[in-house]
Amino acid sequence: MQQYPRIAAIDLGSNSFHLLIARATSRGYRVLTRHRQKVRLADGLTAELHVNNAAIERGMDCLESFAELIKSYQPIHVRCVATATLRLAKNRTQLLQHFEAALGFPIDVISGTTEAGLIYQGATAELHCHRQAMLVLDIGGASTEVIAGVDTEPHVLKSLDMGCVVWQNRYFSDKAITQAQFDAAIQAAAALIQPLADTYKTHGWQSVCGASGTFRALQDCLREQGRTEMTADFIHQCMQASIAKGSREHLHELGIRDDRIAVFCGGLAILIALVKVLDIQSIDLARGALREGLVHTMLAERQRALA
């Protein structure tokens, strides 16, 4: 057995597919390569909860490219997990057959609770704060994870049935951006969060971090404005600036990367609901997310096997 082997973690999200290949070290791991592709699997989810052929093809193309990278790096351990869209899809068996054939490795469709735990671990693994209470948010394509914990230990884990792709298609499908659209999207998201508000507020937190593309898009907006703090006021200002642009075609003027524009308003509406219902004042960008959590889990399992 290699002393410091290479491992690969793959996250089949509802918006993007991610591949992280790393080498184990005496202090954890070193990233060798990362790859992300906007597959937007949830975009192909029909009203009957079947993922359409176009989305399946996009997923297979991505996984075939991941397979080539894995072959090149030759990790000794590969783990692939799938999240909300695969949990929902009624043609999941068909999807898994196609995706596993393209990738060459088995795919584990994980529960929302397991997903939330991995996200929390990935977001907090590099923290050096003793006994700090944390709130971690991850707005995915078809689900949103809200996790409260202390240091690297999650205590309250919830996965909600809303995501940036689903909300974008439901409330901003015509590419227009209006206050009425945002109001409807925020109200719908708030209705899902409100029953959990007391639980999270009782737990409390000293800091909040965001671990998904919505937060990276807002980070781009911060840089464009020469600002550094992602406050609640700034998040609301981004909504008003988006409405002022009036159309998705003009969002790049806010500093948002082209590959994040397509689902930006859907994710932003969900975030505004989270900020409002949970009374969040400011948010930091997390260093890691699900795939980093998966790597830490794989390394911990390896250590137990060697003990």
Give the per-residue pLDDT at 2: 58
**Domain covering 6-112+290-306 assigned CATH 3.30.420.40 in the classification:** yes
pLDDT digits (tens, 9 = 90+) for 44-82: 999 999 999 999 999 999 999 999 999 999 999 999 999
Give the per-residue pLDDT at 128: 61
Give the per-residue pLDDT at 1: 47
Query: Do the Cβ atoms of 149 and 125 come closer than 8 Å?
Result: no
Would you list the domain boundaries of the chain?
Answer: 6-112+290-306, 128-285
Q: What is the C-alpha radius of gyration for the chain, rounded to an integer number of angstroms?
A: 19
Ranges of the chain whose pLDDT falls below 70: 1-3, 127-130, 307
How many whole angstroms separate alpha carbon 206 and alpha carbon 116? Answer: 19
Give the per-residue pLDDT at 192: 98
Query: Do the Cβ atoms of 298 and 7 come closer than 8 Å?
Result: yes
Query: Which CATH fold topology does 128-285 show?
Result: Nucleotidyltransferase; domain 5 (3.30.420)
User: Which residue, among 6, 301, 268, has the nearest Cα to 137 in the 3D structure?
Assistant: 268
**Domain 6-112+290-306 identical in fold to domain 128-285:** yes
Query: Do the Cβ atoms of 248 and 169 come closer than 8 Å?
Result: no
Give the per-residue pLDDT at 306: 72
Give the per-residue pLDDT at 287: 86
Residue with tokens 């491992």: 7
Give the predicted TM-score (pTM) of the model.
Answer: 0.94
Give the per-residue pLDDT at 26: 84
Beta bridge partners of 23: 6, 30
